Amino acid sequence: MPNIKTVRCHHIDEDITTITLDTISLDPPASDEVQIAIKACAVNFPDILMIQGKYQKKPPLPFAPGGEAAGDVVAIGTQVQSVAVGDKVVIGGYFGGFAEATNVSAKAVRPMPRAMSYAEAASYQTAYMTAWVGLTRRGHLQPGENLLVHGATGGIGMAAVDLGKYLGANVIATGGRDDKLQVVKERGADHVINYTMENGEIGGFRDEVKALTGGRGVDVIFDPVGGGAFDESMRCINVDGRLLTLGFTSGRWPQAAVNLILIKQLSVIGVRAGEYGRTYPEKGRENSDAVYNLANTGKIKPYICKAFPLEDAVAALQMLESRNVIGKCVVTMNGYTGTN
């Protein structure tokens, strides 16, 4: 049994710095498992919430954060035929990725997209699947339509901008910092708007959005922010518009103005990408294949702002917690630096 380094949470704590760098022994893979030497693991908000005990999934203690990773297969179980030693793969789950190696079910791995680095491959699955389900399955975004993406400087928001452009939309991206929005603009957004008002609240963008759309308003709104972003969005959406609600990173659940829903004949639509796939398995497989094919051919690619070695995993989580990440950041191991 090899010894590996891993960063683990030993007790639930509001303070994420309580996680520790441990050395543990790793068992050989079971008959239906593969062992993966992890090269990169994406850092996501659920990692923080699990450490704090605030996420719906409660892993048994101790656990390693990190739900999305990429690496190389180094061993396979006796019954595994779909994966071979040496394959580059991506894995997705809820935890376990902040480690030099892990054993996972062979069914949980997928070939790594050829057009992506380990860092990019570890970072694309959840973000782009969420954006794909939102824009295509729930929002039915059409070429030439106007799309407003809130929180566009985060991983999911950037994915929505990328896919919006791929689908032929005119994309207006919002965020709270000009330096972050500049990156989004350089990556293809047609227009960017800083939605932080002088009082620190989110809002004040309706007039600019209407001006950019000839007074009509936008056709589809992708909103993982909620709060003031949602409230203001109700005022700058087109007739028959689709307002996609994905979460509430602003910290406030908004209340929909039903009179505006009536007057504008608009739709407020919830988006849960994982639940969509569980409810409609065949469509879920189609979604997964579509996103993988885009990744494999280089048509989509996440933006990685920083790579941290495993020993600095706390710093990676703190960067995300303080909202200083643009796109995605990753934790790297096994000699990989995140540069290729």
pLDDT of residue 93: 87
pLDDT of residue 137: 97
pLDDT of residue 199: 87
pLDDT of residue 158: 97
Residue 201 and residue 203: Cα distance in Å, rounded?
6
Q: Would you give the distance in Å from CA 93 to the centre of its chain?
A: 13
Mention every residue, 6+ apart, whose C-beta is less than 8 A from residue 132.
Answer: 163, 273, 287, 290, 291
pLDDT of residue 154: 94
Q: Would you give the distance in Å from CA 311 to the centre of its chain?
A: 23
pLDDT of residue 57: 86
pLDDT of residue 1: 56
Please state the length of the chain.
Answer: 340
pLDDT of residue 338: 83
**CATH class belonging to 3-124+303-332:** alpha beta
Sign of CA dihedral 183, 154, 319, 97: negative
Q: What is the pLDDT of residues 114-127, one digit of tens each?
A: 999 999 999 999 99
Cα–Cα separations (whole angstroms), residue 266 to 127, 171, 222, 299, 328: 26, 19, 14, 31, 32
pLDDT of residue 30: 95
pLDDT block averages, 10 residues each, the chain of length 340? 90 94 95 97 94 91 96 96 95 94 95 96 96 97 98 96 98 96 97 91 93 97 94 95 92 87 93 93 95 96 96 97 95 88
Strand-strand pairing, 218-223 and 146-149: parallel
Instruction: Give residue limits of the domains in the chain.
Output: 3-124+303-332, 126-275
Looking at 3.90.180.10, 3.20.20.480, 3.40.190.10, 2.40.40.20, the CATH number of the domain 126-275 comes to 3.90.180.10
3-124+303-332 and 126-275 have identical folds: yes
